[in-house]
Protein backbone atom coordinates (compact mmCIF):
# COMPACT_ATOMS: atom_id res chain seq x y z
CA UNK A 1 0.00 0.00 0.00
CA UNK A 2 1.27 3.47 -0.90
CA UNK A 3 1.72 6.01 1.88
CA UNK A 4 0.36 9.40 0.83
CA UNK A 5 0.23 12.90 2.31
CA UNK A 6 -1.26 16.18 1.13
CA UNK A 7 0.47 19.56 1.04
CA UNK A 8 -2.10 22.13 2.12
CA UNK A 9 -4.92 21.54 4.61
CA UNK A 10 -7.19 24.29 3.30
CA UNK A 11 -10.40 23.71 1.40
CA UNK A 12 -8.90 22.20 -1.71
CA UNK A 13 -6.45 20.08 0.28
CA UNK A 14 -9.40 18.55 2.12
CA UNK A 15 -11.14 17.93 -1.21
CA UNK A 16 -8.05 16.10 -2.46
CA UNK A 17 -8.42 13.82 0.57
CA UNK A 18 -11.93 12.97 -0.70
CA UNK A 19 -10.45 11.97 -4.08
CA UNK A 20 -8.04 9.62 -2.30
CA UNK A 21 -10.92 8.15 -0.27
CA UNK A 22 -12.99 7.55 -3.42
CA UNK A 23 -10.06 5.95 -5.25
CA UNK A 24 -9.64 3.62 -2.27
CA UNK A 25 -13.31 2.61 -2.43
CA UNK A 26 -12.67 1.06 -5.85
CA UNK A 27 -9.15 -0.22 -5.23
CA UNK A 28 -7.53 0.21 -1.81
CA UNK A 29 -4.36 1.83 -3.09
CA UNK A 30 -3.31 4.56 -0.64
CA UNK A 31 -2.82 4.86 3.12
CA UNK A 32 -3.43 8.51 4.00
CA UNK A 33 -1.14 9.78 6.77
CA UNK A 34 -2.05 13.47 7.10
CA UNK A 35 -1.30 16.98 5.92
CA UNK A 36 1.75 19.23 5.64
CA UNK A 37 1.02 22.94 5.95
CA UNK A 38 3.30 25.88 6.79
CA UNK A 39 0.41 27.89 8.24
CA UNK A 40 -1.10 25.38 10.69
CA UNK A 41 0.50 24.14 13.89
CA UNK A 42 1.92 20.63 13.87
CA UNK A 43 -0.30 17.94 15.43
CA UNK A 44 -3.50 19.95 14.99
CA UNK A 45 -6.22 17.59 13.70
CA UNK A 46 -7.96 18.45 10.42
CA UNK A 47 -10.88 16.26 9.36
CA UNK A 48 -9.59 13.47 11.56
CA UNK A 49 -5.95 13.57 10.44
CA UNK A 50 -2.90 15.40 11.84
CA UNK A 51 -0.79 18.23 10.54
CA UNK A 52 2.51 16.38 10.21
CA UNK A 53 4.77 19.40 9.75
CA UNK A 54 5.84 22.03 7.25
CA UNK A 55 6.75 21.64 3.60
CA UNK A 56 10.46 21.49 4.46
CA UNK A 57 9.86 18.56 6.79
CA UNK A 58 9.04 16.46 3.73
CA UNK A 59 12.69 16.64 2.72
CA UNK A 60 13.57 14.66 5.85
CA UNK A 61 11.34 11.65 5.18
CA UNK A 62 13.30 8.42 4.89
CA UNK A 63 10.58 6.18 3.44
CA UNK A 64 8.93 6.34 0.03
CA UNK A 65 5.98 8.70 0.34
CA UNK A 66 3.50 9.96 -2.23
CA UNK A 67 2.80 13.70 -2.07
CA UNK A 68 -0.30 15.38 -3.50
CA UNK A 69 -0.67 19.16 -3.69
CA UNK A 70 -3.92 20.64 -2.41
CA UNK A 71 -2.90 24.06 -3.71
CA UNK A 72 -4.90 25.92 -6.35
CA UNK A 73 -2.74 28.99 -7.01
CA UNK A 74 -0.29 28.03 -9.77
CA UNK A 75 2.83 29.95 -8.71
CA UNK A 76 2.46 28.91 -5.08
CA UNK A 77 2.14 25.31 -6.22
CA UNK A 78 5.20 25.63 -8.45
CA UNK A 79 7.34 27.21 -5.73
CA UNK A 80 6.40 24.52 -3.20
CA UNK A 81 7.24 21.74 -5.64
CA UNK A 82 10.65 23.30 -6.25
CA UNK A 83 11.40 23.26 -2.51
CA UNK A 84 11.27 19.47 -2.43
CA UNK A 85 14.53 17.64 -3.16
CA UNK A 86 13.98 14.36 -1.31
CA UNK A 87 14.39 11.39 -3.66
CA UNK A 88 11.99 9.38 -1.49
CA UNK A 89 9.09 11.60 -2.54
CA UNK A 90 6.83 10.60 -5.41
CA UNK A 91 4.08 12.63 -7.04
CA UNK A 92 1.00 10.61 -8.01
CA UNK A 93 -1.53 11.42 -10.68
CA UNK A 94 -4.88 11.41 -8.85
CA UNK A 95 -8.03 11.00 -10.96
CA UNK A 96 -11.45 10.77 -9.38
CA UNK A 97 -13.21 7.57 -10.51
CA UNK A 98 -16.22 9.51 -11.81
CA UNK A 99 -14.22 11.46 -14.38
CA UNK A 100 -14.50 10.32 -18.00
CA UNK A 101 -11.14 10.21 -19.78
CA UNK A 102 -10.69 8.84 -23.27
CA UNK A 103 -8.17 6.09 -23.95
CA UNK A 104 -7.39 7.72 -27.31
CA UNK A 105 -4.04 9.49 -27.07
CA UNK A 106 -4.47 11.23 -23.72
CA UNK A 107 -1.36 11.78 -21.60
CA UNK A 108 -1.46 13.09 -18.02
CA UNK A 109 1.67 14.11 -16.13
CA UNK A 110 2.87 13.50 -12.60
CA UNK A 111 1.33 15.41 -9.72
CA UNK A 112 -1.80 16.25 -11.68
CA UNK A 113 -5.14 16.14 -9.87
CA UNK A 114 -8.41 15.63 -11.73
CA UNK A 115 -11.50 16.01 -9.55
CA UNK A 116 -14.96 14.48 -9.86
CA UNK A 117 -17.16 14.87 -12.91
CA UNK A 118 -14.64 15.93 -15.55
CA UNK A 119 -14.84 14.95 -19.22
CA UNK A 120 -11.54 14.79 -21.12
CA UNK A 121 -11.80 13.70 -24.75
CA UNK A 122 -9.07 12.62 -27.20
CA UNK A 123 -5.55 13.59 -28.27
CA UNK A 124 -4.93 15.72 -25.21
CA UNK A 125 -1.71 16.46 -23.34
CA UNK A 126 -1.97 17.48 -19.68
CA UNK A 127 1.46 18.10 -18.23
CA UNK A 128 2.76 18.02 -14.62
CA UNK A 129 1.09 19.39 -11.47
CA UNK A 130 -2.06 20.54 -13.23
CA UNK A 131 -5.26 20.93 -11.19
CA UNK A 132 -8.63 20.35 -12.89
CA UNK A 133 -11.38 20.99 -10.39
CA UNK A 134 -14.98 19.74 -10.43
CA UNK A 135 -17.10 19.33 -13.60
CA UNK A 136 -14.74 20.71 -16.26
CA UNK A 137 -14.54 19.68 -19.92
CA UNK A 138 -11.39 19.53 -22.06
CA UNK A 139 -11.82 19.15 -25.82
CA UNK A 140 -9.72 17.35 -28.43
CA UNK A 141 -6.12 18.27 -29.30
CA UNK A 142 -5.70 20.54 -26.31
CA UNK A 143 -2.35 21.00 -24.57
CA UNK A 144 -2.21 22.12 -20.93
CA UNK A 145 1.26 22.84 -19.60
CA UNK A 146 2.76 22.57 -16.09
CA UNK A 147 1.19 24.02 -12.91
CA UNK A 148 -2.04 25.28 -14.48
CA UNK A 149 -5.20 25.33 -12.37
CA UNK A 150 -8.80 25.25 -13.56
CA UNK A 151 -11.59 25.96 -11.12
CA UNK A 152 -15.01 24.22 -11.26
CA UNK A 153 -17.08 24.13 -14.46
CA UNK A 154 -14.44 25.45 -16.86
CA UNK A 155 -15.07 24.49 -20.50
CA UNK A 156 -12.09 24.24 -22.84
CA UNK A 157 -12.91 23.71 -26.51
CA UNK A 158 -10.66 21.79 -28.90
CA UNK A 159 -7.17 22.71 -30.09
CA UNK A 160 -6.43 25.08 -27.22
CA UNK A 161 -2.89 25.58 -25.89
CA UNK A 162 -2.59 26.70 -22.28
CA UNK A 163 0.92 27.76 -21.26
CA UNK A 164 2.52 27.28 -17.83
CA UNK A 165 1.04 28.60 -14.57
CA UNK A 166 -2.31 29.72 -15.99
CA UNK A 167 -5.25 30.10 -13.57
CA UNK A 168 -8.78 29.88 -14.97
CA UNK A 169 -11.67 30.90 -12.70
CA UNK A 170 -14.96 29.13 -12.09
CA UNK A 171 -17.29 28.83 -15.06
CA UNK A 172 -14.95 30.35 -17.64
CA UNK A 173 -15.11 29.19 -21.26
CA UNK A 174 -12.25 29.04 -23.75
CA UNK A 175 -13.21 28.89 -27.43
CA UNK A 176 -11.36 26.52 -29.79
CA UNK A 177 -7.99 27.15 -31.46
CA UNK A 178 -6.75 29.72 -28.96
CA UNK A 179 -3.62 30.15 -26.87
CA UNK A 180 -3.46 31.36 -23.27
CA UNK A 181 -0.08 32.85 -22.39
CA UNK A 182 1.88 31.73 -19.32
CA UNK A 183 1.11 33.21 -15.89
CA UNK A 184 -2.20 34.59 -17.12
CA UNK A 185 -5.34 34.70 -14.96
CA UNK A 186 -8.76 34.26 -16.55
CA UNK A 187 -11.56 35.58 -14.36
CA UNK A 188 -14.59 33.61 -13.26
CA UNK A 189 -17.33 33.48 -15.90
CA UNK A 190 -15.16 34.93 -18.64
CA UNK A 191 -15.57 33.84 -22.26
CA UNK A 192 -12.21 33.72 -24.02
CA UNK A 193 -12.83 34.21 -27.74
CA UNK A 194 -9.36 35.52 -28.68
CA UNK A 195 -5.91 34.36 -27.61
CA UNK A 196 -4.54 36.02 -24.49
CA UNK A 197 -0.96 37.22 -23.90
CA UNK A 198 1.17 36.11 -20.98
CA UNK A 199 1.26 37.80 -17.57
CA UNK A 200 -2.19 39.38 -17.73
CA UNK A 201 -5.52 39.21 -15.94
CA UNK A 202 -8.44 38.92 -18.36
CA UNK A 203 -12.13 39.19 -17.48
CA UNK A 204 -15.50 39.66 -19.15
CA UNK A 205 -17.50 38.53 -22.16
CA UNK A 206 -15.52 38.54 -24.34
CA UNK A 207 -12.47 38.30 -22.08
CA UNK A 208 -10.07 41.21 -22.33
CA UNK A 209 -6.87 41.97 -20.39
CA UNK A 210 -7.51 44.54 -17.67
CA UNK A 211 -4.00 44.56 -16.22
CA UNK A 212 -0.54 43.10 -16.65
CA UNK A 213 1.67 41.81 -13.87
CA UNK A 214 5.32 40.98 -13.43
CA UNK A 215 6.56 37.45 -14.03
CA UNK A 216 7.98 36.82 -10.56
Q: What is the pLDDT of residues 109-131, one digit of tens each?
A: 999 999 999 999 999 999 999 99
Under DSSP, the state recorded for 48 is T
Of residues 144, 150, 145, 165, the one with CA closest to residue 79: 165
- Per the prediction, the chain carries an average pLDDT of 97
pLDDT at 216: 56
Round to whole Å and give the CA distance between 180 and 75.
Answer: 16
pLDDT digits (tens, 9 = 90+) for 148-162: 999 999 999 999 999
58 and 84 Cβ atoms separated by less than 8 Å: yes
Amino acid sequence: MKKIVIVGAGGFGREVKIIIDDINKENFEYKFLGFYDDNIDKDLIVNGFPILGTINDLNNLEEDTFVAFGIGEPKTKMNLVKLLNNKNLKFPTLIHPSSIISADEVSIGKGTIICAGNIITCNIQIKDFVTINLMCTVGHDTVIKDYCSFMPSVNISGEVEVQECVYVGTGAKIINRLQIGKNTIVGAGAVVSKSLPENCTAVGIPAKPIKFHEND
